Amino acid sequence: MPAETALSQHMRPEVKGFYEKRTCSIQYVVADPETKRCAIIDPVLDFEQKSGATATTSADELLAYIEQQGYSLEWILDTHPHADHFSAAGYLKDRTGAPTAIGAKVVEVQKLWKAFYNWPDSFPTDGSQWDRLFGDGDRFKIGNLDVEVMFCPGHTLCSITYLVGDAAFIHDTLFMPDGGTARADFPGGSAKALWHSIQRIMALPDDTRLFTGHDYMPGGRAPQWESSVAQQRRENKHLVQAATEEAFVAFREGRDRELPMPKLILNALQVNICGGRLPEPESNGRRYLKIPLDALPNAPWGD
């Protein structure tokens, strides 16, 4: 086998996406085919808002797949503190003992949202809820696969991309080409920063596989989550429409002003800045979420 072919196969991880239809989220298991070691990226802890019910169905599906494939779990990774679903990182850590990780700038998100929730000074805003905090350019391994961390703020101020061989897990920076780009109006978000993060991803090799964090099925098509750099550059409807930084920032900010906040943002952030941990039970044994009223006063009202 030619050396180049052998190298490309070695650098091509096995990727399995799991679509969670309640929040239109995609969870991933990415594995080194040589060593059978793997990582979970952006796992979902199920939450039913109307009843307040929680479940681990989605996360357990990931574990069942890992067992079925004969994989060994090395990492539980989040790309950012999600605003539209709970992270299952804490649950999976308890089940497997695998280390958890997120971007280092999560400490800034913790400080920001700690104020929203009026939490006590004793709440740690040092990222200690995770086992590892990744900075831009940090490297680690999944089996024999090299992983590079790319700091990609904009959607949030701490978003990161995991570049695993020829695959990049780009969270909510880009959707599928017919879905466009992520919003950038959450506290700490920035359309300008998002533009520069997108350009960084677009500078990767054309055939880099891009795996997005959500798919809202435009036009009622079936869920999709894999594209390529070349495809995004050629077809992404927002990048085609707004091809310069100035045009993109104006477009993104204008569009975001019309979007209601995700229905779970105030529920989810208090879980996700705690490493995917639900609030501790109170004296009656029940857990309670804290919803600050009028915390996001300029957001349009949703249905």
The pLDDT of residue 10: 53
SS3 115: helix
For residues 161-185, average pLDDT = 97
Give the closest residue to 128 by CA, choosing from 113, 107, 112, 111.
107
> Exposure of 13 by Cβ count < 10 A (0-12 exposed, 13-18 middle, 19+ buried)?
buried
> Looking at residue 6, what is its pLDDT?
36
User: How high is the pLDDT of residue 303?
Assistant: 75
> Considering the chain, what is the average pLDDT of its residues?
95
Task: Answer whether residue 17 shows pLDDT above 60.
Answer: yes
CB of 40 closer than 8 Å to CB of 77: yes
Tens digits of residue pLDDT in 123-158:
999 999 999 999 999 999 999 999 999 999 999 999
pLDDT for 11 equals: 82
CATH of 13-272, one of 2.60.120.460, 3.10.690.10, 3.60.15.10, 3.30.479.20: 3.60.15.10
How many helices, marked H, and strands, marked E, lie in the chain?
9, 15
- How far is Cα 162 from Cα 148, in angstroms, rounded to an integer? 6
All structural domains of the chain with their residue ranges = 13-272
What percent of the chain is modeled with pLDDT above 90? 94
Over residues 249-270, mean pLDDT:
96
Q: In this predicted model, what pLDDT tens digit does every residue of 49-108 receive, in sequence order? A: 999 999 999 999 999 999 999 999 999 999 999 999 999 999 999 999 999 999 999 999
Find residue 26's DSSP bridge partners. 19
pTM, entire model: 0.94
